Structure 1
Amino acid sequence: MLRSAADVMATRRITQDTFDAVVRENMQEFDMEESEALKEALEQFESQGVDLSNIVKAVPKVSSEENTEDQPHEVLQALESLRTAVASSSASVLEDLRVFTQQCSLGFAQRYLAAQKEAYPTILACCQRAAGEKEALSVALAALSVLTDGQPDLLDVEGREFLIGALTAHQKDTALSCLCFRVVRHCCVKHESNRQGLVKAGVLPLLTASITRHIQHPEVVREACVVLRVMTFDDDVRVPFGQAHEHARMIVMEHNGLKIIVEAAKAHPENKAVLSELCGTLSRLAVRNEFCQEIVDLGGLNFMITLLADSLDCLVSCGIAESGIISCEHKQTSCCCDASVFQELVKQVLSALKAIAGNDDVKDATVNAGGAELIVMAMNRHMSNAQVCEQGCAALCVLALRKPNNCKVIMECGGALAALQAMKTHPADVNVQKQSCMLLRNLVAHTRDFSQLILEMGAEALISQALAAHSDCCDVGRAALRDLGCQVELRELWTGKKGSLSQ
């Protein structure tokens, strides 16, 4: 596909040296103050469409009055100090590692600059040398984790072998396991080759075994679940076909992943952050009809329904508004009284309910358990959160698909009204608009009696607005209008007349 000129411009990059030279020129040639010179350089490159996400936006300092050459940026100074300490086996290696980690934690630009100056081999060497020393290994792994964040291409075969070896050797150590999991996660996001390489090297059984072994340790459970979920991603645009489905199958069938995750969820009923990750992972693993049913058989559906109901009850009893904390009567450390935490949990539960409802029997089981009513309540309670609205509409959409009786329940509990309110509340969010349109269509596809009621709620105007605002809504929006009985223009893109494909 050809890219537009705007797309090409948006991908333009410059080096750190080029940026620093322009800042220095502004100061020397145009007699600007440091802050003004930096601002001018930023505006100049941004006006040219240059992507500055990889640039450290700081004024380069001169070495001294006698030596007017620019000093390296602080992250490079930290890297050079670390290299010197490693080469001389100095006792300051750990402190230098901590300083380097701190500098890389400032932002992606610092990490990118360090990687361009060959930081990865140095940090990996520190990890390898510290393999038998817990404190040193912990500090080195922290540095490797930060460095690889957003830079998965850094991982090589040597690094992959080290990670598998470290995970194997330190299975009983929760802190080191978490650090290793974090490095694995950073190296696998948007990198299909790393995912496949680590799976072949045996990372999946190490992850599932760690959850089982440390099931009472929330941080291990959480970190391991995040990595399992990342292994099912298909987010590397450089690869035409990934192994997301195969990895999900392996986790479930070869490593008993569903049972392990459901049991872990039951072990942390009050930890909202852990439960969010576990539900999010379940949604990624429900890729087959039988997997969806297995989650139900393991008690996963009842657990998620109870979790959704309890989260809504807790919001009321704690007095939590959508904007944040009002008050908490529980006075318990396990009660996480933060609206954003609850919203993330609700979003992940809705996502999991949507995923397992791909099985028609599970659709009925979810509705019979009161799932439709709870989903609508969650949407109404978190109407200002676009992601909750999107996942709520998506879950109701799947529950309604080819199920007239479920459509009746959804209509009776206010599902259509909640979807239309979501469209009103989030007119700029294309995903909310699309999922709402799909839900409305499914509600009337096999039950035309609901059409007039939905139209009286103002559906036609809202769908038309979505069509006008979002080109991605064209197909689902027109389909919804058509099934609602509205007049809609259906374009015939090609009829096969007036010439042939060979001409």
Structure 2
Amino acid sequence: MPPSNTHDVVKHIDCDIDDKNITETKVNKNLEPINVCINHMTNNPENFEIQLTGCKTVGQYAHIETLQVLLAKHEAIQCVFNAMQQFPDKDELHKTASASILQMASSSEANCEMICKCDGISILINTLRRYCDNINVTRTILTIFGYISATEELCFDMIQHCVHSEVMGAMSRHSQDAHVVKQCCFILGNLVITEDTAKQIMLVGGVHTIISVMYKFHDNHTILENGCRALGSFAAFDNSCLDVAQAGGTKTVLSVLEQTKDDVTVQECALWALACLTSMGDTCEELVELDGVDTLLTSIERYGEEETIQEYGVRIICNLAVLDTTSAYMSCNRVLHILIDQLTQYPENLGILDHALSALSHTLLTIENQRLLLNKDGVRKVVEAMATFPEHNGVQEHGCRILGNMGVYEVLRKETEASGASRAVISAMLSLQMSTEIQEYGCMALMNLTADVQVNKIQVMKNGGVSALLTCIRNFENDTCMLLGALKALGNIISLEGVCHDVLDDNGLRTIITVSNRNIDSIEIQTFCSMILCGLSALTDLPFEMTESIDDTLLRILGECCNNADICLYFCQTMENIITTENGYRIFIKDDRLPVILQCMSKFIYHADIQQAGCKIIAILAMGDVDKVIIQNGGIDCISTALELHPTEHRLHVLALMVLASLAPIVKGDKVDEVHRIVIMAMGRFMENHEIQSYGCTAICRLQLNGDDMEVDNILSSVRHALRRHSSQGDVLKSAGSLLRRMSEAGHAEGVDGVLGSALPNLPDFFWRTVKQTKPNKLC
């Protein structure tokens, strides 16, 4: 809305009317009753003197509020207009009558309505045309039109009578008269309430004329004020905004801002005009090119206590901020200080909050800007604004976007969440469930805030994040982008046991499976569904039916996306989770999942995490009664290949040797040599890892020995290194001692003595008991 203008009309009724009796607002003590005046005028329509006197008298009733006067005002005004029509050529009567109507118009909107109902606009237009060269009559009638135009409902009557055309003509004829110019600008600004009117005025050069007189009367603040209001009215329409700018409107308004820094009223109107102009991208770019940013910000900073100026100023900042080509000029500390101050100073002003949050959501992109927002407690102000207007889509949307951006940098996530970020986002998502933008930015915010920050994940869970995300998934089941955002956010927190329980309690398992079934062509959706199902599988108390549903769904997804490594990993990790439970183990064995695991390991041989998950599963199975099945399905070959391709993955080697230690007693034929080779190789690569050394010694101890001298030398060398490096590790000493004893019993006592007699640390007694040999007298 344009700046308030009622006071402006009252201020500008100084019309230089000569007759003091007409402009006098005090009531004449000898004033006859209004009904007497009306009767005189009605009964003597052709008597000029009576009509002239009546016209003078009627104006004096303007400010009288008695019931008698109020009931008769309409008739009195009609009498004045009748007189003007009866004596069209009498200059004195028209001057007097116009002044009387002006007094009526200035006293109330109701009187302005009566003037219009009496067909006064047409009569005043005729007078204006007839006495176009009479400056006093022209001023008076324009001032009347000014009062009438201040009431929006009456503007439509004025437009129908083409008052704007008459105003343009008057301004053209009296372009040197400041009073006429200021009233014309004021009226035009009020009359441009429809796009058609704007076009009509612009076609006859209205905007150019207004700009011209603003430069001509650059010292007249009232003309500048009304001119800015008029330019803003034209620019308020999308189809005419650029035309105003191209006519020089942007430059003119900036000039007014620059030269009237101490006039708050002019500044207010200029900023409103600029707010209308910058609704178009081209005008935003022009403002920047004209170096207008500093002028704009200076005005906003100067009048920090003026709420209206702040409201118009933040609209301009917002217009510049949302445009890609000008956004960078708003991404500075100066603008951020202004926006944060507005959030602080005007927490109840929806217009300011909405635009300030919108501007922040587009400019708060660098870590420096975000630190400033945090340091000035700006995040908390954003959260408070969202709490103040919980049902306002704009505030909630912009707030979610800001809080989402604040989660981009990991170092700021915890502090952002401490200000109540996720609580505000979740509240917005649950309150405005069908708003696409709020759900989209809400999911993004939760996803960013919870990335790699455990405390934030817990807080999102406590604030009801699971419910918000599942509701979003259900409401936007056909929106792929929305589903992805919600699934990603849920995937970030599914590692929490509490989140898993919340999902199951809200029937979330069925929801996720349904999403997967309906989006079989989207690999991304299948991936994140797999991640969530994998997370749920970590619950040890899952009912059999749920475990089975997770298993069936993941197997289907794996079959449809067999070349996707992430999906394969989630399948393997799920099997790793469920195989440790009674229900899961039953399903794994019954449905023969081992070949699937080994196939995954073979297909994604370069994926260390898949190899590690596969080895864990094999290790668990190897400790059971299905060890032969592992060997028959090529388990040892998978392990061998995995270790060769991932020589630096120590956890993978630990798991592999754990498996081989379990399988060793039943390894036969050429696989014996293969296992020997794998174990010796692993022990050589990770000499400092006591787990690998321990499992390695155990595996070799349980394998058949073929008596090959090179093999024996390699084994003894590996044991020697293990004893030297891990003399304080009981598991290594125990397994190494058992291996040495077995080798000694197998006919390699000389080699064993060589190891024991070498430069070893002081080993504990239990080691020697394990080897069943007396401790040597001399040790290094």
> SS at 2:235's partner residue?
coil
Per the alignment, residue 264 of structure 1 pairs with 256
Q: 1:392 aligns with which of 344, 356, 366?
A: 356
Larger mean Cα displacement after TM superposition, 289-298 or 266-275: 289-298
Q: CA distance change for structure 1 residues 273 and 391 in 2, over 3 Å: closer, same or farther? A: farther
Confirm or deny: 8 A CA contact 2:314 2:339 kept in the other structure: yes
Number of residue pairs matched by the alignment: 387
Per the alignment, residue 379 of structure 2 pairs with 416
Per the alignment, residue 137 of structure 2 pairs with 136
Q: CA distance change for structure 1 residues 465 and 495 in 2, over 3 Å: closer, same or farther? A: closer
- What are the residue-to-residue correspondences of 1:115-134 with 2, within 5 Å? 115-134=116-135
Per the alignment, residue 186 of structure 1 pairs with 190
Per the alignment, residue 21 of structure 2 pairs with none
Instruction: Provide TM-score, normalisation by structure 2.
Output: 0.45
Q: CA distance change for structure 1 residues 90 and 207 in 2, over 3 Å: closer, same or farther? A: closer
Bigger helix fraction: 2
Q: Deviations over 1:124-171 (max 9, x none)?
A: 123223321222111111112223432232224653432221121222
What is the CA-CA distance between 1:86 and the residue it aligns to?
A: 4.8
Per the alignment, residue 11 of structure 1 pairs with none
Asked if 1:481 is matched to 2:480, the reply is no
Per the alignment, residue 419 of structure 2 pairs with 457
Confirm or deny: 8 A CA contact 2:354 2:395 kept in the other structure: yes
**Identity across the alignment (%):** 10
Per the alignment, residue 368 of structure 1 pairs with 332
Confirm or deny: 8 A CA contact 2:218 2:224 kept in the other structure: yes
Per the alignment, residue 50 of structure 1 pairs with none
Confirm or deny: 8 A CA contact 1:286 1:355 kept in the other structure: yes
Q: 1:348 aligns with which of 312, 322, 342?
A: 312
Q: What is the rounded CA distance, in whole Å, between the counterparts of 1:224 and 1:472 in structure 2? A: 45
Question: Which structure 1 segments of 5+ residues have no match?
Answer: 1-57, 64-70, 234-243, 313-338, 497-503
Confirm or deny: 8 A CA contact 2:278 2:284 kept in the other structure: yes
What is the CA-CA distance between 1:446 and the residue it aligns to?
A: 8.0
> SS at 1:270's partner residue?
coil
Per the alignment, residue 665 of structure 2 pairs with none
Q: What is the rounded CA distance, in whole Å, between the counterparts of 2:135 and 2:270 in structure 1? A: 29
Q: CA distance change for structure 1 residues 482 and 495 in 2, over 3 Å: closer, same or farther? A: closer
What is the CA-CA distance between 1:479 and the residue it aligns to?
A: 3.5
What is the CA-CA distance between 1:113 and the residue it aligns to?
A: 4.2
Q: What is the rounded CA distance, in whole Å, between the counterparts of 2:301 and 2:281 in structure 1? A: 26
> SS at 1:81's partner residue?
helix
> SS at 1:359's partner residue?
coil
CA RMSD of aligned residues (A): 3.4
Asked if 1:434 is matched to 2:397, the reply is no
Asked if 1:170 is matched to 2:174, the reply is yes
What is the CA-CA distance between 1:62 and the residue it aligns to?
A: 7.5
Q: What is the rounded CA distance, in whole Å, between the counterparts of 2:369 and 2:127 in structure 1? A: 59
- What are the residue-to-residue correspondences of 1:4-15 with 2, within 5 Å? none
Confirm or deny: 8 A CA contact 2:164 2:191 kept in the other structure: no
Q: What is the rounded CA distance, in whole Å, between the counterparts of 1:216 and 1:398 in structure 2? A: 38
Q: What is the rounded CA distance, in whole Å, between the counterparts of 1:484 and 1:276 in structure 2? A: 37
Question: Which structure 2 segments of 5+ residues have no match?
Answer: 1-63, 447-464, 480-780
Q: Deviations over 1:47-88 (max 9, x none)?
A: xxxxxxxxxxx999679xxxxxxx954144223223314523
Per the alignment, residue 30 of structure 2 pairs with none
What is the CA-CA distance between 1:350 and the residue it aligns to?
A: 1.3
Letter in 1 for 2:242: R
Instruction: Provide TM-score, normalisation by structure 1.
Output: 0.67
> SS at 1:269's partner residue?
coil
Higher relative contact order (CA 8 A, sep 6+): 1
Q: What is the rounded CA distance, in whole Å, between the counterparts of 2:123 and 2:167 in structure 1? A: 16
Confirm or deny: 8 A CA contact 1:94 1:136 kept in the other structure: yes
Q: CA distance change for structure 1 residues 182 and 441 in 2, over 3 Å: closer, same or farther? A: same
Confirm or deny: 8 A CA contact 1:416 1:440 kept in the other structure: no
Per the alignment, residue 147 of structure 1 pairs with 148
Confirm or deny: 8 A CA contact 2:407 2:445 kept in the other structure: no
> SS at 2:172's partner residue?
helix
Confirm or deny: 8 A CA contact 1:170 1:176 kept in the other structure: yes
Q: Deviations over 1:63-120 (max 9, x none)?
A: 9xxxxxxx95414422322331452337354444344344445555543444233222
Q: What is the rounded CA distance, in whole Å, between the counterparts of 1:475 and 1:251 in structure 2? A: 35
Q: 2:203 aligns with which of 200, 204, 213?
A: 200
Per the alignment, residue 161 of structure 1 pairs with 165
Asked if 1:245 is matched to 2:238, the reply is yes
Q: What is the rounded CA distance, in whole Å, between the counterparts of 1:454 and 1:479 in structure 2? A: 19
Q: What is the rounded CA distance, in whole Å, between the counterparts of 1:441 and 1:281 in structure 2? A: 29
Q: What is the rounded CA distance, in whole Å, between the counterparts of 1:473 and 1:140 in structure 2? A: 54
What is the CA-CA distance between 1:267 and the residue it aligns to?
A: 0.8
> SS at 1:370's partner residue?
helix
Confirm or deny: 8 A CA contact 1:420 1:436 kept in the other structure: no
Q: CA distance change for structure 1 residues 309 and 94 in 2, over 3 Å: closer, same or farther? A: same
Per the alignment, residue 404 of structure 2 pairs with 444
Q: What is the rounded CA distance, in whole Å, between the counterparts of 2:216 and 2:259 in structure 1? A: 12
Letter in 2 for 1:434: G
> SS at 2:223's partner residue?
helix
Letter in 1 for 2:213: S
Confirm or deny: 8 A CA contact 2:131 2:138 kept in the other structure: yes
Q: What is the rounded CA distance, in whole Å, between the counterparts of 1:418 and 1:106 in structure 2? A: 45
What is the CA-CA distance between 1:262 and the residue it aligns to?
A: 1.3
Letter in 2 for 1:457: S
Q: What is the rounded CA distance, in whole Å, between the counterparts of 1:80 and 1:463 in structure 2? A: 66
What is the CA-CA distance between 1:200 and the residue it aligns to?
A: 1.1
Q: What is the rounded CA distance, in whole Å, between the counterparts of 2:330 and 2:175 in structure 1? A: 38
Q: What is the rounded CA distance, in whole Å, between the counterparts of 1:93 and 1:192 in structure 2? A: 34
Q: What is the rounded CA distance, in whole Å, between the counterparts of 1:248 and 1:146 in structure 2? A: 26
